[in-house]
């Protein structure tokens, strides 16, 4: 791989800190987390102690006030270790920015310090049984009643949903208003009428906390409204590019790690009396994968640079999400093949990575939706 120039010495010192915490506090427990369907709260608190959660949040609210590269470091190190159960990226890269960018001063003072410490786990509830990538199709309602909203509806496939202490709920405050009738409202765990369903059993990402959420006459203060009423869809469109970029970041880092493991494996594994790496097919496959990943790494790093400069546009980030996740799935599938039968065994990281990677082409907007975005930009 070509040298990367994005990161300073301070970023790399932080990377070492992240790596140590993950190796000591997460890697040894990931298998048990897969069995229980979520990571332990203790890991969240450890991450908070080390400054791994919400590092970009301004210092006045307890954050480090760093640039987005610190989030990138955390996302990459988690992906490289195959720790797909850890929902820190969604908490830091996706949930916190809504509060930082659109929340009231009181909302920031109330919630951000606990999100930074890991005492409060954040989630965002967009997807519903009948509405996924089509956010305008959301049916959950939030009806104004005096100085409260009354929320009714259900959500599904919610990352961090089972453990969540704080959920951003995408709801219709004006069902007849289309996109302009959508608002974002914070709901705390324990609020009467708010309940959590089962931990969903997924094909991959088995340690990731994914749950159904239900809202039955849930009353929350109007002060829990994020930003302005009816502006929810606009806020979602403004923040989704960062979410899609983080998907691409993890896709490339995860694929790079599996490719490196596969290179080591084929050097050791023998077939027909010689290492698998000695066969031209293996050499050509590895050369192709390494070349494609190098090109993708350059593109993703350029997208990160543009994002830091506030210049990353929606079609470009859609391209990054589309291409990186397609490539991730392609490369890991090839790596499974090079492992032979062992590549299909759950105890091998490549098998877990193969199962985990597939959803990358679905969430944060399906890759088909990415193609719609790109084509609209092309055709006008």
How does the average pLDDT of the chain come out, rounded? Answer: 96
Q: Where in the chain is the domain with CATH 2.40.110.10?
A: 123-229
- Give the integer Cα–Cα distance in Å for 159 and 196: 12
- Digit-coded pLDDT (tens) for 47-58: 999 999 999 999
- Give the integer Cα–Cα distance in Å for 176 and 58: 37
- Digit-coded pLDDT (tens) for 191-248: 999 999 989 999 999 999 999 999 999 999 999 999 999 999 999 999 989 999 999 9
- Indicate the pLDDT class of residue 100, thresholds 50, 70 and 90: very high
Q: 0.75 cut: is pTM over it?
A: yes
CATH of 9-120, one of 3.40.50.2000, 1.10.540.10, 1.10.760.10, 3.30.365.10: 1.10.540.10
Phi, then psi, of 214 in degrees rounded to 5? -130, 140
- Indicate the pLDDT class of residue 132, thresholds 50, 70 and 90: low
Q: Which of these is catalytic: 34, 77, 212, 243?
A: 243
Q: Where in the chain is the domain with CATH 1.20.140.10?
A: 234-379
Catalytic residue check, 243:
yes
Share of the chain above pLDDT 90, in %: 94
- Digit-coded pLDDT (tens) for 329-348: 999 999 999 999 999 999 99
CB atoms near residue 68 (< 10 Å): 17
Instruction: Please choose, from the candidates 125, 132, 198, 109, the residue with its C-alpha nearest in 3D space to the C-alpha of residue 159.
Output: 125
Q: Where in the chain is the domain with CATH 1.10.540.10?
A: 9-120
- Give the integer Cα–Cα distance in Å for 69 and 76: 10
Three-class secondary structure assignment of the chain: CCCCCCCCHHHHHHHHHHHHHHHHHCHHHHHHHHHHCCCCHHHHHHHHHCCCCCCCCCHHHCCCCCCCHHHHHHHHHHHHCCCCCCCHHHHHHHHHHHHHHHCCHHHHHHHHHHHHHCCCCEEEECCECCECCCHHHCCCEEEEECCEEEEEEEEEEEECCCCCCEEEEEEECCHHHHHHHEEEEEEECCCCCEEEEEECCCCCCCCCCEEEEEEEEEEEEHHHECCCCCCHHHHHHHHHHHHHHHHHHHHHHHHHHHHHHHHHHHHHCEECCEEHHHCHHHHHHHHHHHHHHHHHHHHHHHHHHHHHCCCCCHHHHHHHHHHHHHHHHHHHHHHHHHHHHHHHCCCCHHHHHHHHHHHHHCCCCCHHHHHHHHHHHHHC
Look up the CATH number of domain 123-229.
Answer: 2.40.110.10
Mean pLDDT, rounded, for 299-304? 98
Look at the domain 234-379 and name its fold.
Butyryl-CoA Dehydrogenase, subunit A; domain 3 (1.20.140)
- Indicate the pLDDT class of residue 136, thresholds 50, 70 and 90: confident
- Indicate the pLDDT class of residue 69, thresholds 50, 70 and 90: very high
């Amino acid at each position: 791989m070509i040298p990367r120039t994005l990161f300073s010495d301070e970023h790399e010192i932080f990377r070492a800190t992240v790596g140590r915490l993950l190796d000591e506090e997460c890697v040894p427990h990931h298998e048990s987390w897969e069995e229980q369907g979520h990571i332990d709260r203790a890991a969240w608190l450890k991450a908070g102690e080390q400054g791994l959660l919400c590092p970009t949040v301004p210092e006045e609210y307890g954050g480090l006030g760093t640039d987005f590269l610190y989030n990138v470091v955390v996302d990459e190190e988690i992906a490289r270790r195959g720790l797909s159960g850890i929902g820190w990226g969604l908490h830091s890269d996706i949930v916190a920015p809504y509060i930082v960018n659109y929340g009231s001063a009181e909302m920031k003072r109330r919630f951000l310090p606990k999100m930074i410490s890991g005492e409060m786990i954040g989630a965002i509830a967009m997807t519903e049984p009948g509405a996924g990538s089509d956010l305008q199709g959301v049916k959950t309602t939030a009806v104004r009643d005096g100085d409260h909203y009354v929320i009714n509806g259900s959500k599904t496939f919610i990352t961090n949903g089972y453990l969540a202490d704080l959920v951003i709920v995408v709801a219709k405050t004006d069902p007849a208003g289309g996109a302009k009738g959508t608002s974002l409202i914070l709901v705390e765990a324990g609020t009467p009428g708010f309940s959590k369903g089962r931990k969903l059993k997924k094909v991959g990402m088995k340690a990731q906390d994914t749950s159904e959420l239900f809202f039955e006459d849930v009353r929350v203060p109007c002060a829990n409204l994020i930003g302005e009423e009816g502006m929810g869809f606009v806020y979602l469109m403004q923040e989704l590019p960062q979410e899609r970029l983080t998907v691409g970041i993890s896709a490339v880092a995860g694929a790079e790690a599996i490719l490196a493991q596969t290179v080591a494996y084929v050097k050791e594994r023998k077939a027909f009396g010689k290492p698998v790496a000695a066969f031209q097919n293996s050499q050509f496959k590895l050369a192709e994968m390494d070349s494609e990943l190098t090109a993708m790494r350059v593109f993703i790093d350029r997208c990160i640079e543009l994002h830091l400069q506030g210049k990353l546009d929606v079609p470009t980030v859609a391209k990054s999400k589309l291409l990186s996740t397609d490539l991730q799935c392609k490369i890991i599938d090839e790596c499974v093949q090079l492992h032979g039968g062992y590549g299909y065994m759950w105890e091998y990281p490549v098998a877990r990575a193969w199962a985990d990677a597939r959803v990358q082409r679905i969430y944060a907007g399906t890759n088909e939706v990415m193609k719609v975005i790109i084509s609209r930009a092309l055709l006008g």
